[in-house]
Amino acid sequence: MTRTLFTIGYEGKTVEELLDQLNASGVKLLIDVRAVAASRRPGFSKTALAGALRERGIDYLHLRPLGTPKAGREAARKGRIALLLQLAFACLLLGFALSRSLPLSLAIAFFAGICIVGVIALYSSLVQLTTSDQMRGRVMSIFMLAFRGGMPLGNLIAGFVAEKWSISTALAVNGVILAMVALWFIVRGTKLDEAVEGV
């Protein structure tokens, strides 16, 4: 007897849409390969999903070893690390703006440089990891256009603030804005890397 193996993800779907798609394909068993069979999205945690599948006549099995290997799960933590590095960079930028000591300013600039390189590298990696092979080139092109294209606009605004008030004020404002954005995502528990974790 020949059996067909399908793969499916739940990103962008409701539970009902997922179940309809499984039923339409004639699926009799769903094997969940997530490292942790839990989700913030309603209905996609292990118990709820298994119950909903059972009502549709589909068996459920959680087989973590078939899922994302350890290296992939570690890569999935990049989102939180990127946000923490962005927050650290923002605090260092604010400290640089307020510093009146040359040695302290040089030390802050050194560590701020490390943070910003890490932030850019991690965000670039996340964009690539969460994009399909077919779309990666296009998405990265748009990402780099927005990222590099937005920098001159930010520089114009920072230049205006620096000219109207002071360079320290411009740096401090940049630091506060970056910190607020990072804290917003951290406090909300947003997972920038959710698509990397496997569905």
Give me the pLDDT at residue 75, please.
Answer: 59
- Position 90 scores a pLDDT of 95
Q: What is the pLDDT of residues 86-143, one digit of tens each?
A: 999 999 999 999 999 999 999 999 999 999 999 988 888 888 777 777 888 888 888 8
Residue 170 has pLDDT above 50, yes or no: yes
| Claim to verify: residue 187 and residue 104 sit in the same structural domain | yes
Clarify whether residues 78 and 59 are in a common domain.
Answer: no
Q: What is the DSSP string of 43-97?
A: T-SHHHHHHHHHHTT-EEEE-GGGS--HHHHHHTTHHHHHHHHHHHHHHHHHHHH
Q: What are the phi and psi torsion angles at 107 (to 5°)?
A: -65, -45
Do 103 and 63 fall within a single domain? no
Residue 75 tokens read as 């890569």
Q: Indicate if 168 and 104 belong to the same structural domain.
A: yes
Least confident stretch, 44-53, 59-68, 124-133, 165-174: 124-133
Domain limits at 53? 15-67
Q: Which residues lie closer than 8 Å to 179 by C-beta, 6 or more apart?
A: 87, 90, 91, 94
Which residues have C-beta within 8 Å of that of residue 95, sequence separation ≥ 6? 108
Asked, for residue 90, whether it belongs to a domain, the answer is yes
User: Does some domain include residue 157?
Assistant: yes
Query: CB-side exposure of 78: number of CA atoms within 13 Å?
Result: 22
**Residue 31 scores a pLDDT above 80:** yes
Residues 120 and 156 in one domain: yes
Q: Does 76 lie in the same domain as 46?
A: no
CA distances (Å), origin 147, targets 94, 132, 152, 179: 22, 20, 10, 18
Would you give the DSSP letter of residue 10? -
In a domain, 121, yes or no: yes
Cβ contacts of 14 within 8 Å, gap of 6 or more: 43
The verdict on 80 and 169 lying in the same domain is yes
Same domain, 57 and 109: no
Question: Between these two residues, 96 and 157, which has the higher pLDDT value?
Answer: 96
Provide the pLDDT for residue 129. 72
With a cut of 80, say whether residue 30 has pLDDT above it: yes
Q: What is the mean pLDDT of residues 143-169?
A: 85
Same domain, 27 and 82: no
In a domain, 33, yes or no: yes
**Residue carrying the six token digits 């406090």:** 187
- Of the two residues 36 and 102, the one the predictor is more confident about is 102
Residue 4 lies in a domain: no
Let me know if residue 10 belongs to a domain. no
Clarify whether residues 82 and 23 are in a common domain. Answer: no
Closest CA to 35 of 6, 71, 84, 8: 71
Tokens coding 142: 């748009």
